[in-house]
Every structure is written in C-alpha cells, then in structure tokens.
Structure 1
C-alpha cells in the first residue's frame, strides 16, 4: 500500500471503521500524513482552523490504530496504554511496528503488507 492509497483508505473508505485489520504500511503512511498535515497547518492556518483540522483527523487516527492493533491480535482498546506516563507511547509504538499475525484472528483475515510485483512486460 502506498501513501495515497493509505490516506484514501483511512479518510474516505474507513473513516470511522473500527472493525477489521490494517497493515503496517496503511497505518504508518496515514500517521505520516497526519504529522505532515499538522506541521504544514501550524505554519499556514490560524489556531481555530488548525483545531478543527486536528479534530477531523482524530477519529480516523483512532480507527486505523484500532485496526492496526487488531492485525497484531490485540483489542483496539489497547490504544489506552499510550496514556501511561513515560512508557505508554513506547509500548504502543512497539505494538504498531510488529508484523500482523499471518493467520485469521477474531478481527478477520490477514491483510497483505505488500502487493505482488509483476515482471517487466507482464500485465
């Protein structure tokens, strides 16, 4: 999954979907998008407009985080671990970086991290 596909999936297709699984590329590309929007927005937009933009990205961020945890076999509620002072964020980043379980779990079939590459000349 590439950058634009990930953003499209998280913002248009699965904006409020907390069900299913999300691959590592889907999660990390969307998080990069959120960081870029925040960084650029801080320099361009007024404070109140940036607040609205941040709120608009809040739900899909939690949704893709829950789906990413589902891919590793954990409940989406484990995002609350990030609230633990000093170490919660590190634990959460570690979980998000783990590969997904290769077998189907309670949240569905595995998500392929990479698309198969075709040899040149084959379509």
Structure 2
C-alpha cells in the first residue's frame, strides 16, 4: 500500500477523535441524535483504521507480533479491533469510562503512539 493511503487511514482515525470531541462539546444541541451509537461507531472505526495503519506500516506478521508483545498500546489497538470493533466476541470486556472525555484522551494517546 502506498504511503499516502496509509496516511489517509491515520487522518481518518484522527477524524473519529475530532467527531467525538464535537459531540462532547455540542451534546445539548445533539439531544435528538443517538449519541451512544454514534460514539460507538466512531470508536469502532477508529480502532479499525489504527490497526490498518500498523498492518500496512509493518507488513511482516512476525514483526507485528513482536511489537504487540512489546508495546501495550499496539496490543490494545489490536485487541479492541479484533475483539470488539471488527466483530463482537462474547469474552470481550470493555474498559469502563466515566466520560467521553476520558475515552477521547485514551484514543488521543493511542493515536500519538502511532506516529
């Protein structure tokens, strides 16, 4: 995959965070929108896009496997994608967040780890 396509996935992942920030800032005006579903969809899309960035940036399965073992953020990105975002596993236990802001901060930290 060409570098500009990988970059596009990274930008799209960042847009998911931006959209969640917009939702949080405009929650009162968006009261008629199903926010929980929208946030979950954005979060799922974020983890799928981040995993694609890693997959395409590190094409060797062996290297990705080593990276997952060494880097807890990368491991979490793949866990979220594999157990929750790409499909729902019965044994998946989601991290409990007290606010959307807390979720956004986690996603921002994970995004910062990718570049």
Give the TM interval when normalised to the shorter protein.
Answer: 0.3 to 0.5
TM-score, with length taken from structure 2: 0.40
TM-score, with length taken from structure 1: 0.38
More helix by share: 2
Larger Rg: 1
